[in-house]
Structure 1
Amino acid sequence: MTQEAFAGKLGVSVRSVASWRANPDMIPQQETQRILDTTLAMAGDAVRRRFIHLSRTAIAQPEVQALRVAIAVVRRGGDVLLVCRQDGEDIAWQFPAGIVKPGGSASKVAVRETLAETGVHCTVREHLGERLHPHTHAMCDYFVCDYVHGEAINGDSSENVAVAWAPIAELARFIPTDRIYPPILDALEATV
């Protein structure tokens, strides 16, 4: 239908229909919405299918992805690799991690960021799971990794204050256990 024909069918002004077309995000007044709903309900199946298709196409927006972080829990014998981050005034030990770009591989990011931040080469042994981090609200993928070679060095002094191999048995001295994803603790206990 033309805008004029559609306005005549609804009993509204042509200017109103033109305004809806120009501003598709506009929310009609309650009475106008009732008229539109009734008209759609009375339309045939083909018209309703076309309306649904067009409305989905019109409001389709790029998919938004939550911030995703890959976390590497690198084991070497009875030790685990940690980085000490400085975030403003806070200094905290944590496992090496990196941001996963949309469409990227979390396991590859875990390995690549571990090497970049610490100089340690590792391989992924197991994906431990994922969760929405309770403090950062980032979606986190956790990987247990095996040490391959390399000396632990601070490869990213803009993010890290230090890098260290911490004894797994003393991990709580570095990171409070209530802040560690429980499957990590289970995986590390299995190696001690």
Structure 2
Amino acid sequence: MDVIERWSGRYACLLQSALRLGNEQFAAHLGIAVRTVATWHADASVVPRREMQQLLDTAHERAPAAARQRFALLLAKERAPVDSTPPGAQALRVAIAVVVRDSDVLLVCRRDDDAAGITWQFPAGVIKPGGKAETTTVRETLDETGVHCAVRQHLGNRLHPVTGVLCEYFLCEYLAGEATNSDAAENIDVMWVPRNSVPRFIPVDTIFPPILAVLEEQT
């Protein structure tokens, strides 16, 4: 049986596929929130917390023999150099909100086991099949941060250089609400950051160029 030394979002999704479970079914199987499973799909490189690692270990160990065999095949294919790009990455769409309030921008800090793996990013959420990107942007921002916002402009889209996920970027206007960490299971902190300080939190070479243009305005 293949042993996973450290589960990532991608490996967790491979296990889900091997078990042939939908997001809701897989979440129920592990006893976790559906939102957590969606996060794994949105960010293949994310490393689940220690307790999540244990849940995934148990699910893998207790999986039927046929499911373990499917997982081994998927894992071998994933690790093969000729197939290093996550399958189906382009089919997954994520809405990303660049929420501005005067000269500040809203950021969230994702939770991780290792301090070095903690990442700051803009509020984001998976766009469900048939769902509207704009609606997802507003809803996920509120769910994650407690901030009400309105979409002002579609900044464009791209395949994320790290995750390979198709991202839809929206410039949003702050309406109301105090920035709070409303999703403690996934995030460590939420804060308003001066526009010119964003590159201190997010590597500038990974920021979508149209966002950089917005950040440079009025700074």
TM over 0.5, yes or no? yes
Identify the structure with the greater helix proportion: 2
Q: 2:205 aligns with which of 178, 188, 191?
A: 178
Long gaps (5+) in structure 2: 1-88
More strand per residue: 1
1:71 has 2:96 as partner? yes
CA deviation after TM superposition for structure 1 residue 76, in Å: 0.3
Change (3 A) 1:154 1:138: same
- Residue deviations 1:107-129 (CA, integer Å, cap 9, x gap): 11010000000000000000000
Contact kept? 1:71, 1:143, Cα under 8 Å: yes
1:11-44: CA deviation from partner (whole Å, max 9, x where unpaired): xxxxxxxxxxxxxxxxxxxxxxxxxxxxxxxxxx
Which residue number in structure 2 is paired with residue 163 of structure 1? 190
Find runs of 4+ consecutive structure 1 residues off by over 3 angstroms.
Answer: none
Counterpart of 1:95? 122
Q: Is the 8 A contact 1:78 1:168 kept in 2?
A: yes
**TM-score between both structures, scaled by the size of structure 1:** 0.65
The 1-side partners of 2:218 and 2:141 are apart by 20
Structure 1 residue matching 2:181: 3-state secondary structure: coil
Counterpart for residue 5 of structure 1: none
Percent of aligned positions with the same letter in both sequences? 61
How far residue 65 of structure 1 moved from its aligned partner, in angstroms, is 6.8
Alignment partners' CA distance in 1, 2:137 and 2:130: 15
Larger radius of gyration: 1
Superposition pairs for residues 1-192 of structure 1, below 5 Å?
Answer: 66-89=91-114, 90-192=117-219
* Change in 2 beyond 3 A, CA 1:139/1:172: same
Unaligned runs of 5+ in 1: 1-63
Contact kept, 8 Å, 1:69 with 1:98, in 2: the verdict is: yes
CA RMSD of aligned residues (A): 1.6
Q: What is the CA deviation profile of residues 61-92 of structure 1, one whole-angstrom value per residue up to 9, with x for unaligned ones? A: xxx97111000000001100000002443100
Partner Cα separation in structure 1 for residue 171 and residue 98 of structure 2:
5
Looking at structure 1, the residues matched to 112 and 129 of structure 2 have their Cα atoms a distance apart, in angstroms, of: 24
1:148 aligns to what SS in structure 2? strand
CA deviation after TM superposition for structure 1 residue 190, in Å? 1.9
Q: How many residues align?
A: 130
